[in-house]
Structure 1
Amino acid sequence: MIFRDLIKSSVVALGVTNSVLEVASSTSSSGDSRATVPNDLTLGVKQVPNILNDTAVDANQEAKGYTLVNVTSTPRGLTGILELKEATNIYGYDFDHLNLTVTYQSDKRLNVHIEPTNLTDVYILPEDLVVKPTIEGDVNSFNFEDSDLVFQYHSDDFSFEVVRASTGEVLFSTDGNPLVFSNQFIQFNTTLPKGYAISGLGESIHGSLSLPGTVKTLFANDVGDPIDGNIYGVHPVYYDQRYNSNTTHGVYWRTSAIQEVIFEEQSLTWRALSGVIDLYFFSGPDPKDVIQQYVSEIGLPAFQPYWALGYHQCRWGYREIEDLEDVVTNFKNFNIPLETIWSDIDYMDSYKDFTNDPHRYPTDKYQDFLDKLHKNNQHYVPIFDAAIYVPNPNNETDNDYTPFHAGNESDIFLKNPDGSLYIGAVWPGYTAFPDFLANNTQDWWNEMFKEWHDRIPFDGIWSDMNEVSSFCVGSCGTGRYFENPADPPFLVGGEVTQYPSGFNVSNSTEWKSISSSIAATATTSKPSPSSSSASIDSMNTLLPGKGNINYPPYAINHAQGDHDLATHAVSPNATHADGTVEYDIHNLYGFLQEKAIHAALLEIFPNKRPFIIARSTFSGAGHYMGHWGGDNNADYDMMYFSIPQAFSMGLSGIPFFGVDVCGFNGNSDAELCSRWMQLGSFFPFYRNHNVLGAISQEPYVWSSVADATRTSMAIRYLLLPYYYTLLHESHVTGLPILRSLSWQFPYEKKYNGIDNQLFVGDALIVTPVLEPGVNKTKGVFPGAGVSEVYYDWYTHEKQDFRNGKNETLAAPLGHIPLHVRGGHILPLQEPGYTVAESRENPFALLVALDNEGNASGKLYLDDGESLEIEESLYVDFVAHSKSLTASSFGEYNVSQPLANITILGVEKKPKQVEFEDSKVKFSYENSTIFVTGLEKYTKEGAFAKQFTLTW
C-alpha cells in the first residue's frame, strides 16, 4: 500500500478536534520556513486518576467475586472453572467464566494462570514476544512433596494462598478480597505482614523499598525522572523479604498490560487494564536465589564487551564534528581516560534517523574522526530515536529520505484503526513508527542499519525515545506532514542559564529552595486524594469487546500533566500489523525495538557482542542491552536515587546500568560533579551526559573534578578484571553487579532499605557523599567486629568498625570511601589510558583475609568481544593457612605477567615469602604484605600454570 493510500483515510487523533487537523493542500510547500507543531496538538483529555479521586468506586467493596467449580487434579497441579457470582461491571464488563490452571513448574516455581473461557478480544501475550517460563522435567509427573511452594484455595468466594512448605508461612493470600476480572480491569489483592520489606516493580525514581502508601504505575513513559512517577521501563515482579522466617520469595505477573500496584499497611493491590493473570511464584529462599530464579526465566543478561567497562563521555550540544575532536583531545591532554565518545541528536541532519548533517558532520570529516578514534582503540556510539521522519512530498529535497520510503513500501509502520498511517511528532517533525510485529520490519531495519554503518562506522547504539514517545496526542501528523520539517512545540534543550541548579542570584531564597527540595524527597509517596466531586471523566465510559482503549474506565496515575495515556506517547489505539493495539503492548515497544537492534548489529558485526544502551525496558530486555537511568537532574537527590535505581535494575535482570553522572537537566557545579564522577566510577555503565544549553560538565572543566576523576578512574581501571569477572558471573547466573546490603546480609532487617551504600560484587563496599558542603559521610558495615572484617582500600588498614554502628568516615572533596570486605581476593591489572591498553599490562592480586585468615576469589577472561566464546580462562584463588593458590583452566592465552600480590590482614611480619620454591621480595606495613617483582617468575603469563605463594 503506497503512502498516499495510507494517509487519505479518515483522521484518527485523540483529544484534538477535526478542524485542527484539516488536510493541507497537496500543492502546498513548506518553503524555506519551518513550521511548528501546534501546542494544542500536545494536549490530551484531562483524566482524574482513580487513586486521586475520593469518589471513585472501590472494587474490593463492590465486586462479588467468583466461585470455583469443576476442580480437576493434573499431574502437575489442578484446573477449574471460576463462575461469576454477580456482575458489577465497575471498570469494565465482567467475564462470566474463567479458566484456572495451577502448575508446579519446578521445585521452586509455581504458576497460577487465570483467563476467560472465551478469549475473543482478550490479549494473550505471545511467547515469541516475551519468553514464558516452562515446566522442568517430565510434564506428566511431579513429586509435590519436593516443592517448597504449596497452592491452597477456597471454592466459595474464590481465593487462594501460596504457602511455604518448609515454614508454613503464607507468602501470598487473596483471602477476603474478591477477584475482579473484566474486559478492562483485573484486580487481585494479597495480604502482607506488618512491616514488610518489598522491592522491585521498576522502573521509578524511588527508594529500594515500597513502603505503605506507595503507588507504582507500570506504564512506559517519556518523562524526566519524576520522583515516584512512572518512567521508562516496566518490570512487573516484586521480591518479598521476610525476616520472621529469613526467607525471600518473588512474584512475577507476566503481562504487558497497563498496571498499577498499591501498597497499604498490610496489603498489596495489583491491577491491570487488559490481558490475563499469569503469575509466577519463585521460592528463593535467599534474595540472591530469587533474583537468579527470576532472571534465568526471563533471559540471562547480555554479556557486554570488555570495552563497555571503560569511561563514556556524551552531551547534547556537541554541535559539530570538531567539538567531538576537541573533547577527545582534551581528555588526552588532561590525562583522563576516555574509552567511548557519544553523540546525541546533534549529529543528525534535521534530527532524522540514519542521517548526518552535511555541514556540521560532513561524512568525510566524520569518517576521518572515527578512523583516528578506532586507531587509538577508542569507540563511538550515536543516539538513535524510535520515530522515522515522514518527508514532505511537495519538497523535492525533503522528500529524498530513503528510510521512510523504503519502510513505507515494505508496509512496516504503525497504522490507525482505519488502516491509514499513524503519524505522530518527534524531533524532526511529523513521524511514523516502525511496527515490530510486521513481517518485513526486521529486513528493513537490518538494511537501514547496514547502510548507516557502512557510511558511519559506529561501535554500538544508544536507543532513545522508545517508550514509544510522541510529542503530540494521536495521529496529529495526518494531513500535516505537508508542513514538514516541523519544530517541536517547546524550547529545544530547555531554558538556558549559567547558574547551577537551585542557585539563586540574590541568595535571598536559596535556603527556602533547598529546604523545599529536602522536604519533597523525604516524604512518603502516598498521593493526596482529589476533592473533586466528579468520579470519572466523561470519556472514561464502559465499552464491550476490547473496551474503551483510548480512555479506559479506570484511570491510572500516569505521570503526565493531564494523565492522558496518549500524552507524549503513541496513542493506545495505534494498530499493529496483526491487529494488536498499542494499548495491550505499549510497555513492550522499547523491548521489541531493542531485540531488532540487537539482530541488526549481529548482521553488521557477526559473532561480536552487540553494545546497546536503551531507555525503555521490559522483563527480559537485559538479555539484549544495558540501560541508563534517563533524564535525571543535576541535583544531589538524583545522585542519591541512582543507587536504589541501580538495585531495581539489578532485580529486573539489567545489571549493566548507569546514570548520567553530574546530572542531565540543569547545571552541575564542581562539588556535585566531583562527588558524582567518583560514585559513577563504580557503576557498571559509567557515562557523563548533560542537556543542550547547560554549562559544560566534562570532568576537565574544573581542576578539582579532574583530580577526583583521575583518582576514581584509576581505581576503576585497576579493577577491570574484577568487573569483567562480575559481568560474566551476571551473564551466566543473573546476579546483579551492584548489590544492596540486604542481599549480602539477608537475615538482618536493620540493613534493609539502605540506599546510601552499595556493594560491587561481594568484595567491595562504596560509601559515597550524597549531600553538599560536608567532608565526611556515614555508613554501616554488617558483621564488622563479629563475623566480618573490612579494610580501607587506600591505606590497607583493618578498620575498627562495629556491627550495626553507623560509622563516620572522613570524605574530603575528591575522596570516596571504599572498603574491601575480608575473605575476598580481587584480580587487578595495571591501568592504561584505554581498556585495550589496560589489557596489555601486568596483573596483580589483592588478598583481603577474613578473621580466620582465609580468602577466595575468581577471575574470568576471554577475548572480550566474541558472542560465541571458543576460548576462555577461569582462575580460582584460595588463601588458607598462610598460603595462596591460583588454579587456572581454559584455553584462552594470557601472556601478561603477574607483577605483585598484596595481602591484607597479616598480623605478624613473616620471615620470608616464597613464590613456588623461590624466595621473593616483599615489604610489610600496616599488617599488609607487599610482594613485588613477580614478573620474572610469570614470564609465560600470570596464570599460565598453577602457583602457590606462602608466607
Structure 2
Amino acid sequence: MLAQINMYLFAVWTAVSQWPINLLSSTSPFREIFTVPASADNGALLIPNIQDPQAVDVQTVCPGYTASNVQTNDYGLSASLTLAGKACDVYGTDVESLSLNVEYQSAERLSINISPSNVDASNSSHYILSEQLVPRPSRDSDYKSDIKDHDLQFSWSNDPTFLFTVTRKSTGDVLYSSKGSVLVYEDQFVEFVSSLPENYNLYGLGEHIHGLRLGNNYTATIYAADTGDPIDYNIYGSQPFYLDTRYFEVDSDGKKTLVTSTATDPCKKYESYSHGTYLRNAHGQEVLLRPENITWRTLGGSIDLFFFDGPSQPEVTKAYQTGAIGLPAMQQYFTFGYHQCRWGYKNWTQLNEVVETFKKFDIPLETIWTDIDYMSQYRDFSNDENTFSVSEGQKFLSQLHANGQHYVPIVDSAIYIPNPSNASDAYGVYTRGNDSNVFLSNPDGSQYIGAVWPGYTVFPDWHSDESVPWWSNEMVQWYKDIQFDGIWIDMSEVSSFCVGSCGSGNVTLNPVHPPFSLPGEPGNIVYDYPEGFNITNSTEAASVSAASSSAASATATATAILTSSSTTPDYLRTTPTPGVRNVNHPPYVINNVQGDLAVHAVSPNATHHDGVEEYDVHNLFGHQILNATYQGLLAVFPTKRPFIIGRSTFAGSGKWAGHWGGDNASKWFYMYFSIPQALSFSLFGIPMFGVDTCGFNGNSDAELCSRWMQLSAFFPFYRNHNVLSAISQEPYVWASVTAATKTAMQIRYSLLPYLYTLFHAAHTRGDTVMRALAWEFPNDPSLANADRQFLLGPSLMVVPVLEQGAASVNGVFPGVPTTVWYDWYGQTAVSAKAGENVTIEAPLGHIPVYIRGGAVLPTQAPGYTTTESRKNPWGLVVALDAQGSAEGSLYLDDGESITPESTLDVEFRAAKGSLKVQMEGKFEDTNALANVTVLGVEGCSGSVKLNGQAVTGAKYDGESKVLSVTGLEDLTKGGAWKGGWELSWS
C-alpha cells in the first residue's frame, strides 16, 4: 500500500539529485567553504510592547501638548505646540516644542503635519523624511481654496490638551478625532490616537497576509522583513495607508444614520462614504486597531498625515495616486502573458526543455524566468559558465526572442565582496562599486559587511549620488552578454543573514555558506506530502499514519516536556538616554516578525553617505532599488517601458514596478489570501500584482494547482514559481492541471485587450484594476468583508473555488435585481436574489466567471504568445443591462514604448438595438472584426446590419437571448477600428 508513496519520495529524490552541484557541495574551487554560524543571525531576546506586561501606557503618564500662536491663512493654519507638563520620556526623549501646519492642498486632500520646531541636519535625534527620498504632496497649483466649502473640516482645541478633529461636512461624520487621548512625541517614539465607530471597516496598512477587512483586534506592524509569508505579521513591504468605509442608512427624508453592522435590510436604502489616510513616514511603526480606536506608533519621524475624502474607493485611490504617490507604471503588453519560473532550473538546456514542453502541450508561455541558479556563485550580474554560460545563453535567448517570448532573471540586493587573499575571486561589480564609494558603512566609516547567498556581502547605498549610475552601468554591461527583457528584484528589505557587520575582518573566508542549510542539501530535502494528501489518497495516508504513530507519540511527549518549563525569559528592555538614540534596540519594541530589528536584515546602525542611519530609512531600501533598476532598464532600453517585479515596496513604488506576494506555501489558505493581498495592493497603487501560483514552499498537487492556475489567470501578474527542493509544478506535470490551465488561459488571452485598457486607465487616471465587490457596489454593507471573489475591472467577476475537494462554490451577485450578470461560458443571465448566497457548480477544471450587464468587452482570438494574439481578429462581447444598454472602451498602442508615436482610443456604446463605435487616434491596427456577441437581447428577427449593409452571419437564440454575429471579416477589411461604424439589430 506504500507503493505510491515510495514512488513519490523517489521522484522527489531524483529531482534533488539532479540539482546543480554547487548547491550541494561544501567546497569552492580552491578550498572548503566556511559556514557562517547559525548564532550569527541571533538577536537580542525581546518582547513586543503590545505583549509586555511591564509596558508603560504613555496615555496615562505623558502630559500632551498645548497649542498657541495660531495663525490662519487662505489654505489652513499653523500653530506652536508646547509640552503641557513634565516630560515623561518613556520610550525616548520628549520633544518640548512642535510645529503644527494644516493645509488644504486640493479639493479632495487635506494635509496635517506635526514635527519638531527646530530640526536641522546636525540634529541626529530627529530624522524627518527627506523629500528627495519620498516626495511630499504639495498644494495643487490651480487649487483656489475656500476652506468653509471643503468637505473635510479641520478643528482643534486645548481641552484639556491639544486635540484635533477632521469631520466630513456633507454627513457630519467625524473621520478623525484625538479627543480623549494625548499626543506623545519623543525622539524614538511617536503616538497619536483617533476614535473610530463601532465595527469599522478599514483596509490596507500593508504588507501582511490577512483578510481584506482588517477587523478591530489587530496590530499591523510596518517594517520590511525577509520572512516566509507568516499570517498576520509584517512581511516585505511598507504601505502606511488605509481606506476607511462607513455605511449610512438613508430614510425617506434623506437623513443619514451610521450603520455599525453588515446585516442589511433589502427594504432600506444605504449609502457609503470612504476616505483614505496616508502617513508619510518611513520609520518602523505599528498601527493598533482596537474596538474603539486606532493608535499609530512610530519609532521616529514626523506626523505627516494626508486625508483623501473620496467619497468612494475609486475617488480615494485616484486622489492618493495623482496627488501623493504617483500613478502606476504602464506595463508592456507582453507582461500580461503567462510567466514560468522555479528555483531549480539547472541550466540553459533544462530551461529550453521547459519552453519546448509548454509548446508540446500547447500551453501558452510568454516569459521564462530564472532564479539564483543561473548566477556564478550567486553573484549579481554574472553567469555560471558551467551551467548558464553566456555563449549558450545567447543562443537560447536568440531563439526565444525569435519565437516572440521573453526572459526575466532575478537580481538580488547585496553585492559579494571578493576574497582579498585569492586573486581568482575577483568580482568587477564590487570593485567598480567600491571605487565609486556606493556601499553602506558602519558608524566608524568602515564598510558594512553582512551575509547573503554568495557569502559576505556589501549593500548599495542609494543615498550616494553615484549608486544609481553604477547600478545602471552594471545592468547595461550585463545586457551585452545576456539579453533579458525585465528584472526581478529580490531580498530588498534589505535582507542579511547575520546581525551586524559580521563580515568585518572575515572577508578572507569568502565565499562562505549561509548560516542555514539550503533547500536540497543533506538534511533539508522536502519530503512533505501535499496538503490534504490524506483526503485524496486516503488508503496510502492511513498506512503512513499507522507507521508513524510511535514517532508522533514520542514527539508529543518531548514537546510536553519542553513546554512545561515555567522559566521567565530574560527579555532585553532598554531605557532612553536624554538626547541619545538607541537605534539598535529602541526602548519601544514593535511587534516585528523577526524580533530584533537587526535579525535577517541590515542593522539599524548601518550608515548612509549623508549620515542617515538605516534605522530611519530601513523601509525604503526596496523602494529605492526599484527606482535604480527602473533607471537601469531605461539605460538598456531607452524607449521601452521598464518591466520590474519587486518584493519590497513602499508608497509610490508602483510608478516603477509591480509586486509579487513573496514566499508563500502550497496551501489552500494561501491561495485564498492571494485575493485580499491583490486587492490591498490595488489600494496601494501597485496594480501589477501576483503571487507564486501553486505555492512556493512545499509540494503542490493536481487539485490545488488546477484551482490556483485558474484563479491566477485573472490576476494582472500571472506566474508559477516554486522552491528548489519541491516537486515540479509546471502546469503540464498533471493532465488535469494542463486542461484547467488552458481553459483559464483561453479566457485571459482573449481578454488581453481589456486588461491592457484597464492598465492604461490606471496609468493615466488612477483607476483601480482588481476591485473588491464593496468598492464596485459601495451601497451594500453586506459586501464590506467580501474577499473570496473579486472583479477584474468593472465588468468581469471571478468566483473561484478555494477549498479542497469542493465541486461547487457559494457566490453573491451584487447589485441584483438592477444589475444583470451573465455566465461567461453559457452567456445567459444569472438568476439570483439580492444578498443571496448562490451555490455555483464548479467541478475541477472550471472557474466561474461572470460578465456584468452594461459592459462591452473587446476580445481578440488567443494566440500562443501575446505577439501572436495581437495579430488575430477582433471580437466584441456586448452584455446588455436591464435597460438594454452597454458601453466600453479599448486602448491601443505599440505595446512597449514609453511615449508611443501613436495611440488609439475606441469607445463602444450600445442602446436601442444598435452598437455604435467611435475612435480617436492614429495608431493603425489592421486586424478585422470577426464576431460580435450580444447578450440579453429581448427579441430579435435576426436581421442585422453593419453601417446599413446586411450581415448574413447572424443567429439569434430566443431561449438564451444571445445574438451571435459572425462573418464580419470581409466587411471590416483593413481593420476593425479603421473608422466609426454602427451594428444594428431589429
**Contact between 1:106 and 1:147, CA under 8 Å: does it hold in 2?**
no
User: Aligned partner of 2:185: which letter?
Assistant: F
Residue in 2 aligned with 1:302?
A: 329
Residue in 1 aligned with 2:475?
A: 449
**Contact between 1:53 and 1:532, CA under 8 Å: does it hold in 2?**
no
Q: Distance in 2 between matches of 1:482 and 1:350?
A: 16
Deviation at 1:384, TM superposition (A): 0.3
Residue in 1 aligned with 2:856?
A: 825
From 640, 643, 668, the equivalent of 1:636 is: 668
Deviation at 1:498, TM superposition (A): 6.0
User: Aligned partner of 2:529: which letter?
Assistant: Y
Q: Distance in 2 between matches of 1:83 and 1:97?
A: 5
User: Aligned partner of 2:328: which letter?
Assistant: P
Q: Is 1:547 paired with 2:551?
A: no
Q: Is 1:950 paired with 2:984?
A: yes
Q: Distance in 1 between matches of 2:54 and 2:327?
A: 45
From 745, 758, 762, the equivalent of 2:790 is: 758
**Contact between 2:942 and 2:954, CA under 8 Å: does it hold in 1?**
no
Give ranges in structure 2 of 5+ residues lacking alignment: 1-27, 249-255, 257-271, 535-539, 549-564
Q: Distance in 2 between matches of 1:674 and 1:836?
A: 26
Q: Distance in 2 between matches of 1:206 and 1:395?
A: 48
User: Aligned partner of 1:41: which letter?
Assistant: A
Kindly provide the CA deviation profile for residues 310-336 of structure 1, in whole angstroms up to 9, marking residues without a partner as x.
000000000111110000000000000
Q: Is 1:153 paired with 2:185?
A: no
**Contact between 2:797 and 2:851, CA under 8 Å: does it hold in 1?**
yes
Matches within 5 A, 1:518-917: 537-538=572-573, 540-545=574-579, 547-560=581-594, 563-784=595-816, 786-917=817-948
Q: Is 1:229 paired with 2:233?
A: yes
Matches within 5 A, 1:200-599: 200-244=204-248, 246-296=272-322, 297-398=324-425, 400-493=426-519, 494-497=524-527, 499-501=529-531, 503=533, 506-507=541-542, 537-538=572-573, 540-545=574-579, 547-560=581-594, 563-599=595-631
Deviation at 1:496, TM superposition (A): 2.0
Residue in 2 aligned with 1:143?
A: 146
Range with greater deviation from structure 2 (488-497 or 771-780): 488-497
Deviation at 1:941, TM superposition (A): 0.5
Deviation at 1:907, TM superposition (A): 2.2
Deviation at 1:545, TM superposition (A): 3.5
Deviation at 1:541, TM superposition (A): 2.5
**Contact between 1:314 and 1:344, CA under 8 Å: does it hold in 2?**
yes
Deviation at 1:55, TM superposition (A): 2.1
User: Aligned partner of 2:530: which letter?
Assistant: P
The runs of at least 4 aligned residues of structure 1 exceeding 4 Å deviation read 502-506, 508-511, 530-536
Q: Distance in 2 between matches of 1:736 and 1:687?
A: 21
User: Aligned partner of 2:769: which letter?
Assistant: I
RMSD value, Cα: 1.7
Kindly provide the CA deviation profile for residues 508-530 of structure 1, in whole angstroms up to 9, marking residues without a partner as x.
8989x9xxxxxxxxxxxxxxxx9
Q: Distance in 1 between matches of 2:857 and 2:409?
A: 34
Q: Distance in 2 between matches of 1:84 and 1:591?
A: 35
Q: Distance in 2 between matches of 1:471 and 1:194?
A: 43
The structure-2 alpha-carbon separation of the partners of 1:660 and 1:138, relative to structure 1 and needing over 3 Å to count, comes to closer
Kindly provide the CA deviation profile for residues 474-509 of structure 1, in whole angstroms up to 9, marking residues without a partner as x.
100111111111111112125321621464675489
Q: Distance in 1 between matches of 2:386 and 2:863?
A: 36
User: Aligned partner of 1:479: which letter?
Assistant: G
Q: Distance in 1 between matches of 2:541 and 2:530?
A: 14
Secondary structure in structure 2 of the residue aligned to 1:700: coil
Q: Distance in 1 between matches of 2:107 and 2:963?
A: 47
**Contact between 1:192 and 1:266, CA under 8 Å: does it hold in 2?**
yes
User: Aligned partner of 1:83: which letter?
Assistant: T
Secondary structure in structure 1 of the residue aligned to 2:239: coil
Secondary structure in structure 1 of the residue aligned to 2:719: strand
Residue in 2 aligned with 1:103?
A: 103
Deviation at 1:531, TM superposition (A): 10
Deviation at 1:106, TM superposition (A): 1.4
The structure-2 alpha-carbon separation of the partners of 1:738 and 1:178, relative to structure 1 and needing over 3 Å to count, comes to same
Deviation at 1:31, TM superposition (A): 4.0
User: Aligned partner of 1:537: which letter?
Assistant: L
Q: Distance in 1 between matches of 2:570 and 2:207?
A: 29
**Contact between 2:634 and 2:642, CA under 8 Å: does it hold in 1?**
yes
The structure-2 alpha-carbon separation of the partners of 1:843 and 1:452, relative to structure 1 and needing over 3 Å to count, comes to same
Deviation at 1:64, TM superposition (A): 1.4
Q: Distance in 1 between matches of 2:785 and 2:348?
A: 45
User: Aligned partner of 2:513: which letter?
Assistant: D
Residue in 2 aligned with 1:927?
A: 961
Q: Distance in 2 between matches of 1:509 and 1:127?
A: 60
Q: TM-score, normalised by structure 2?
A: 0.90
User: Aligned partner of 2:131: which letter?
Assistant: E
Give ranges in structure 1 of 5+ residues lacking alignment: 1-28, 514-529
Kindly provide the CA deviation profile for residues 744-782 of structure 1, in whole angstroms up to 9, marking residues without a partner as x.
011111011111001010101000000101110011011
Q: Distance in 1 between matches of 2:961 and 2:763?
A: 36
User: Aligned partner of 2:877: which letter?
Assistant: L
Secondary structure in structure 1 of the residue aligned to 2:206: coil
Secondary structure in structure 1 of the residue aligned to 2:320: helix
**Contact between 1:53 and 1:535, CA under 8 Å: does it hold in 2?**
no
User: Aligned partner of 1:497: which letter?
Assistant: Y
Q: Distance in 1 between matches of 2:321 and 2:146?
A: 25
Deviation at 1:788, TM superposition (A): 0.5
